[in-house]
Amino acid sequence: MTPTTYEPDPQVREVVVLGGGPAAHRLADALHARDSERTLRVRVISEEQHLPYDRVALSTRLDGPVDLTLAPSGVWDSDHVVLHRETRADAVDTAARTVTTASGEVLRYDALVFATGSSAPVPDIPGSHLARVYRTIDDVDRLVADVERISAQHGRPARVLVAGGGLLGLEAAGGFARLGAETAIVHSGSWLMSAQLDEGAGQALGRIIAGQGITLHLGTRPRAVLTSDDGASVIGVKFSNGQSVPTDIVVFAIGIRPRDELAASAGITLGARGGIAIGTDCATSAESVWAIGEVASFGGVCTGLVAPANAMAEVVADRLLGGAAEFTSVDDATKLKLSGVDVASFGDALATTENALEIVYADPARGLYQKIVTTNDAKTLLGGIFVGDASPYASLRPLLGSVLANEPAAYLSAAGVDAPAGDDLPDTALACSCNNVSVGQVRDAVHGVNGEACTTLPDLKACSRAGTQCGSCVPLVKKILETELTKSGVAISRALCEHFALSRQELFESVRVLELRSFDEIVSRFGTGRGCDVCKPVVASILASQTDGHILDSGRGTLQDTNDRAMANMQKDGSYSVVPRIPGGEITPQKLAVIAQVATDFGLYTKITGGQRIDLFGARLDQLPEIWRILVDAGFESGQAYGKALRNVKSCVGSTWCRFGVQDSVSMAIRLELRFRGLRAPHKFKFGVSGCARECAEARGKDIGVIATDGGWNLYVGGNGGFQPSHGQLLASDLDDETLIRYIDRYMMYYIRTADRLQRTARWMEDLDGGIDHVRAVVVEDSLGLAEELEQAMAAHVDNYEDEWAATLADPERLKKFRSFVNAPDSADPSLARVEERGQLRPATQEERKSGKAILLSGTTIPVRSET
């Protein structure tokens, strides 16, 4: 083929960009927006057929076709910006300043920008030619088709093994699990995300991931992909530890390899570990040639994060237009975007700074690990890690390097104090690291300083670009928006999240009136996209409180968090606790004997809780159904210790035994617990019933508190313990039994219908205009005319209640979810180790594991490792 030569316009400088990914899009958009005199013509050479798309959100494509095109897409409609799709550059001549494409076309340039990105490496091991990667839209679409094909072909879920326990690997594994595949992860590190998280956080994340039904193989790596006899398909993988596991699809997500081969062939200097070496101006060793994004090696390191890629693109855009911008640092903050998993890290998360101080909060029962890293004087923020609840991330990330106004622990959500937002953040703080948008720029956009005011979250994201890429800063952007609108006297949107413009209350009512029964129905009617970690659990709760179906049926299982899916609470070592319901704390000796026998037979640690129940700790996932069966046969049922539901009704012994008791508090407690068991709500809730004013059941510290009087019952509402304790407020006095229950029915259903997500009754009442007086008017005086409707809704719940444990035991399909290893259903988790203490077995510490004191659940003593 005779090459054709593109003749440039001598009046316009020609900029050629190699690569059509997010970095190239950001550069093209920046040049299009800033080059008002059109002195540049930009030609972008892309090998893919798609417009540049958001690789950060690639995993959402596993849930179904979704448009990932980066905004603004209108940049490609400009005469001065041309996108060459499905075009490959074959050669660069830096002396002649030309780029030759695979078709033979020769493009002359005045400036050349490498944005060729990276490829996904596959190790050179036997059978690796059949392995797959997870890098492009086409990769993902082919994987989805393969999972569906294999599942149909074998009549069972496809088995997918993801090699790599970093961000991309976890998102890929989560997507395959949502597709219904039997999913596993193999990771060479001792814990997941070992490059970003410390051991405590990594172990906490591992328990959450394992709780989603994803099998983990840690501390090993693939050594061979096992193939069928004809060598045409994958049948398994052999690990470096000698173990082999069956699988149908192997996906490698073990990092990135910069696509620097074109630059190398042109004689451009590369970094020591690959990638095109650049300076603070993003220039390469060749004149008028720059590099941005994953292919660029800055300080000897290539990074696969979007924030530095965007920053580099902005620097090159400024330089091409005569500026002197510099790229000085890499922002390596990360946030995992996986349904049901909340993980984030930023700054010096691993505390490598000399004399760094680590403030850690860990709550294994809640699956929570939070750490803030500061200077030794506990004043300057250096970094942080959050697992299980990453809500502080959005507000703390902008304060990196700043002096904290409060004690560090006060910024952890575990402390019950909101991290700073709105007026608490300086204008110079970074709101969106991906797009380098400051808090001041967000505020200016809200008030229309440089144009039209942006008063809704979608408008604010569009005009400021904050929150348009990875999305981790959206909560902070929303807080700033609300703060600024409040200061201006503008009503604030109560949208549930970016996928639902309705508030939780509005969504609840809409679902109720239209009798919708699935997430797909709800999102197609009232939302957009595929949902997120905010709206999915809310919808699950709404459906649970309005329907009589099992919480894991009709697609609702994928909306639940780990504990709800397992119907048990995950503990720090990956085992589970079982809490049978003991209404009112009353139990027969025969039932006590059953619990004792279960604890003995399964080697469970037992603990009487503050809610008058018995916790059985240390059960494996695969043991749960067998434990449930014994308990159910003895008359027990699930205590719903895992859900946003009624936990327990605490009571004293009342007039039955106590000489001070004036009412039968035990009978009332049992009646209330059996009535409200399994009721899903915006947050967990507890009851208390005291037989006299001495208040031995601590009823005023409960969401519903009932205290006996000589004339009946006093009803208190809106109390709770926790990090922000509140005393219940008196709603009504001297009630008879039936009136008491009727008022509680109304109160609870009104709360369920109108509270925000994860809002306790105390906080809900604080937000109500009129507080307790408003509640009294609705519940007692029926000021809204809803009393009968609320009572009927509660009656429907009572009539349709079904024990979740018993229902699961009766369904073979549900039981399939309770296996420690999907590929070896009869195998126990070998990592669970115990130490005897005070006559019971508790989880072993790392030191006890290393010293040989720990005992595996199989009964084998862990050998002492030699220190070499």
Q: What confidence score (pLDDT) does residue 293 get?
A: 93
Q: What confidence score (pLDDT) does residue 419 get?
A: 47
Q: What confidence score (pLDDT) does residue 618 get?
A: 86
Right CATH for 646-801 from 3.40.718.10, 3.30.565.10, 3.30.413.10, 3.40.50.300 = 3.30.413.10
| ∠ Cα 811 814 818 (to 5°) | 125
CATH match of 128-255 with 3.30.390.50: no
CATH match of 5-118+258-320 with 3.50.50.60: yes
| ∠ Cα 731 733 735 (to 5°) | 110
CATH code of 561-638+803-828, in short, is: 3.90.480.10
DSSP letters, 723-773, are TS-B--EEEEEEE-HHHHHHHHHHHHHHHHHHPPTT--HHHHHHHSTTHHH
Contact 831, 574 (CB under 8 A): yes
On average, the pLDDT of the chain sits at 85
Residues in the chain: 868
Give the relative orientation of helices 22-34 and 306-320 as an angle to the nearest 10 degrees.
30
Instruction: Using the predicted structure, report yes or no on whether residue 5 has a pLDDT greater than 50.
Output: no
Contact 820, 828 (CB under 8 A): yes
Q: What confidence score (pLDDT) does residue 414 get?
A: 54
Instruction: Using the predicted structure, report yes or no on whether residue 867 has a pLDDT greater than 60.
Output: no
Instruction: Using the predicted structure, report yes or no on whether residue 365 has a pLDDT greater than 60.
Output: no
Instruction: Using the predicted structure, report yes or no on whether residue 157 has a pLDDT greater than 60.
Output: yes
Q: What confidence score (pLDDT) does residue 830 get?
A: 53
In tens, the pLDDT along 200-214 reads 888 888 888 888 889
Contact 202, 180 (CB under 8 A): no
DSSP letters, 337-384, are EETTEEEEEEESTT--STT-EEEEEEEGGGTEEEEEEE-TTS-BEEEE
For CATH 3.90.480.10, the residue range(s) in the chain are 561-638+803-828
Pairing of strands 704-709, 712-717: antiparallel
DSSP letters, 700-732, are GGSSEEEEEETTEEEEEES-B-TTS-B--EEEE
- Rounded CA separation 93/267 (Å): 9
- Rounded CA separation 504/527 (Å): 12
Over residues 728-733, the mean pLDDT reads 93
Q: Is 652 annotated as a binding residue?
A: yes
Over residues 684-694, the mean pLDDT reads 92
- Residue 154: φ, ψ to 5°: -100, -10
Q: How does DSSP classify residue 113?
A: E
In tens, the pLDDT along 620-672 reads 888 899 999 999 999 999 988 887 889 899 999 899 888 888 999 999 999 99
Q: Is 434 annotated as a binding residue?
A: no
Contact 89, 103 (CB under 8 A): no
Model confidence band, residue 418 (pLDDT cutoffs 50, 70, 90): very low
For CATH 3.50.50.60, the residue range(s) in the chain are 5-118+258-320, 128-255
SS3 content of the chain, % helix, strand, coil (to 5): 35, 20, 45
Q: Is 692 annotated as a binding residue?
A: yes
pTM over 0.75: no
Contact 747, 717 (CB under 8 A): yes
Model confidence band, residue 4 (pLDDT cutoffs 50, 70, 90): very low
- Rounded CA separation 866/121 (Å): 35
Q: Is the peptide bond before 72 cis (omega within 30 degrees of 0)?
A: yes
Least confident of 9-13, 34-38, 401-405, 701-705: 9-13
In tens, the pLDDT along 575-591 reads 888 999 999 888 999 99
Over residues 386-405, the mean pLDDT reads 82
Instruction: Using the predicted structure, report yes or no on whether residue 863 has a pLDDT greater than 50.
Output: no
Model confidence band, residue 862 (pLDDT cutoffs 50, 70, 90): very low
Amino acid in position 639: G
The full 3-state SS of 465-523, as one line of letters, equals: CCCCCCCCCHHHHHHHHHHHHHHCCCCCCCCCECCECCCHHHHHHHHHHHCCCCHHHHH
In tens, the pLDDT along 803-861 reads 989 988 988 878 877 765 444 445 455 557 777 888 888 887 767 777 777 776 544 33
Instruction: Using the predicted structure, report yes or no on whether residue 788 has a pLDDT greater than 80.
Output: yes
Contact 199, 190 (CB under 8 A): yes
Instruction: Using the predicted structure, report yes or no on whether residue 9 has a pLDDT greater than 60.
Output: no
What sign results for the dihedral spanned by CA atoms 609, 613, 618, 624? negative
Instruction: Give the containing element (helix H, strand E) for 393.
Output: helix 391-396
Over residues 404-408, the mean pLDDT reads 81
Instruction: Using the predicted structure, report yes or no on whether residue 295 has a pLDDT greater than 70.
Output: yes
Over residues 516-527, the mean pLDDT reads 86
The distance in angstroms from the start CA to the end CA of the chain is 64
In tens, the pLDDT along 171-200 reads 889 889 888 899 999 999 999 988 888 888
- Both tokens of residue 138? 């086409």
Q: Is 282 annotated as a binding residue?
A: no
Share of the chain above pLDDT 70, in %: 90
- Both tokens of residue 510? 């809409």
For CATH 3.30.413.10, the residue range(s) in the chain are 646-801
587 CB-near residues (< 8 Å, 6+ apart): none
Over residues 416-441, the mean pLDDT reads 70
DSSP letters, 810-839, are T-HHHHTT--S-TT-TT---TT-EEEEETT
Contact 548, 802 (CB under 8 A): yes
Q: Ranked by mean pLDDT, which of 234-238, 546-550, 681-685, 755-759 comes out on top?
A: 234-238
- Both tokens of residue 78? 């400009």
